Amino acid sequence: MLRIGRYSQLLRTTPRWALRYNSSVADKVNFHRHDDAGSHTPEDAADATATIFADMKDMQKMPNKATWVDALRERKKQLAEGKVLDSYSYMTPKTTAVGDKTREDSFSFLTLPFKEDKWLCDAYINPYGRLRAGQLFQDLDALAGRIAYRHCSPAEPVNVTASVDRIYMVKKVDEISNYNFVLAGCVTWTGRSSMEITVRGYAFEDAVPENITQDLLPQDNVFMTANFTFVARNPLTHKSFAINRLIPITEAEWIDYRRAESHNAKKKLAAKSEKLIAPTDEENRLIHDMWKSSKALTQTAPDVTNVSFMKDTMISSTQIMQPQYRNRHSYMIFGGYLLRQSFELAYCASAAFSSAGPRFVSLDSTTFKAPVPVGSVCSMEALIAYTEHLHAGEQDIDADSPFNFKLPATNKISRNAEAFLSEPGTLIQVKVDTSIRNLDSGESKESGTFIYSFFVPKTSNDENTANYCSVIPQTYSEMMDYVEGRRRAYETAQFVDTLPKHT
């Protein structure tokens, strides 16, 4: 059946250049290796392209793709034969042999020449002229998927995004029309059937480098880091699939490998333990102090500016999952699309709460608990879970806290003028819970929780002017959300301290 809303939106909003399939962008769509013969520019050599344009070409020319009509017919045929496959295209993994590969074997990149292509820039810009990060998330996940398949080749298992371990904005790139972006990454760790993939974003005020390799990209140009965990599955048995081993070569590669190994061991241990970590004695005192303070604020909150009760910050979104946003080789929704949708809702919650245009800072570790089938109903709820004020100088206590007690800070203003947290303002943490409802079975289940952090600078340079925004928990459940948010803010601050100084 025709999606009328989709068709009318296309007619009303799609510029003529896109309907003609912009030749300047189409020429840059290339999925060969960066060292393929005949490549003369970085755009020609790119391993992937912007998701918004990649789909136009993928559906027509790429192998292992299928239209939704073909996929539905194949599913009907499978069911008649008593089979249920995860994938339409990958009917066999081809081989189960396991070999050794290096980072270079999986290295892939794409270019986003915003400075050179105003229409491409127009597809990624937000109302304030800054980067619309949700659009970029789709590209990050798609590029990570290409890296995963390249590492596993010549085998062809079904690779899925198991988790997003962290996405962090290292530097400000406020006016994206002044930059050309390169996203590049590779596999940095492997287990038996899982792999960690690291992708970095590079911003260039001039043209992107002629030769793009993992060794030649300048680290001073890094503006973003992202880490994903992918798992390989056998499309026939639905069980885990052994993948090629990664062999680190340099000292830096071994350091990254050991770090990832330690991180994954920690994740496995946490998954076996309690879901909710009991509060410490210090956190119990904090909860008690917040409870007393919130009782007093209940009487005065209407007269206090820039303060909101947590329950009043919740917004929600419900939509049916359409086939246009699926993985092209399966019956499930593309993980990058879910990242974009949850980000957009988190951004709305943060903007409405702060009455400003927030800047995205980080996405904390997120595990996809269940795949999202096409045709299911996906519900999302966004809540401001934690706020923290950054002050000029070396302040260890938040002097503008709305609570009637002193709360030690977990973050400090960066001395790097290019960093996001380099000026006074409010760090806003948004928790987005997602759930899916299968219309065939009526079953509902959790799909994942996304934690986004945003930053809103003070509107006044006067430190004595109280224009920070704050969230106030009232119930025990809300206070635990606040405590967990505070833990995550501390972990992010610790992560920032591990970043190389040149980034």
Pair 374, 300 in one domain: yes
Pair 184, 303 in one domain: no
Distance CA 442, CA 120 (A): 41
Pair 267, 314 in one domain: no
Query: Can you point out the beta strands (E) in 95-193?
Result: 100-101, 108-112, 158-169, 180-190
Tally of structural domains, the chain: 2
Q: Which of 246, 271, 296 is the last residue of a domain?
A: 271
Is 84 a member of any domain? no
Pair 266, 353 in one domain: no
Give 122's contacts (C-beta < 8 A, 6+ positions apart): none
Q: Which of 214, 236, 271 is the last residue of a domain?
A: 271
Give 274's contacts (C-beta < 8 A, 6+ positions apart): none
Is 82 a member of any domain? no
DSSP secondary structure code for residue 409 in this structure: -
pLDDT tens column, 132-169: 999 899 999 999 999 999 999 999 898 888 889 899 99
Pair 183, 310 in one domain: no
Pair 390, 442 in one domain: yes
Q: What angle do CA 465, 469, 470 make, to 5 degrees?
A: 125
Is 326 a member of any domain? yes
CATH number of the domain enclosing 449: 3.10.129.10
Beta bridge partners of residue 30, listed in sequence order: none
pLDDT tens column, 378-433: 999 999 999 988 877 655 556 567 776 777 777 777 766 666 677 888 999 999 99
Is 300 a member of any domain? yes
Pair 235, 383 in one domain: no
pLDDT band at 75 (very low <50, low <70, confident <90, very high): confident
pLDDT tens column, 420-441: 677 888 999 999 999 999 998 8
Pair 197, 234 in one domain: yes
Could you list the residue range(s) of the whole structural domain that residue 248 is in? 21-62+93-271
Pair 230, 371 in one domain: no
Is 25 a member of any domain? yes
pLDDT band at 180 (very low <50, low <70, confident <90, very high): very high
Is 503 a member of any domain? no
Pair 369, 481 in one domain: yes
Is 76 a member of any domain? no
pTM: 0.83
- Which pLDDT score, from 0 to 100, does residue 424 have? 84
Asked whether the predicted pLDDT for residue 31 surpasses 50, the reply is no
Pair 343, 407 in one domain: yes
Distance CA 147, CA 47 (A): 9
Is 85 a member of any domain? no
Q: Which of 217, 248, 271 is the last residue of a domain?
A: 271
Pair 36, 170 in one domain: yes
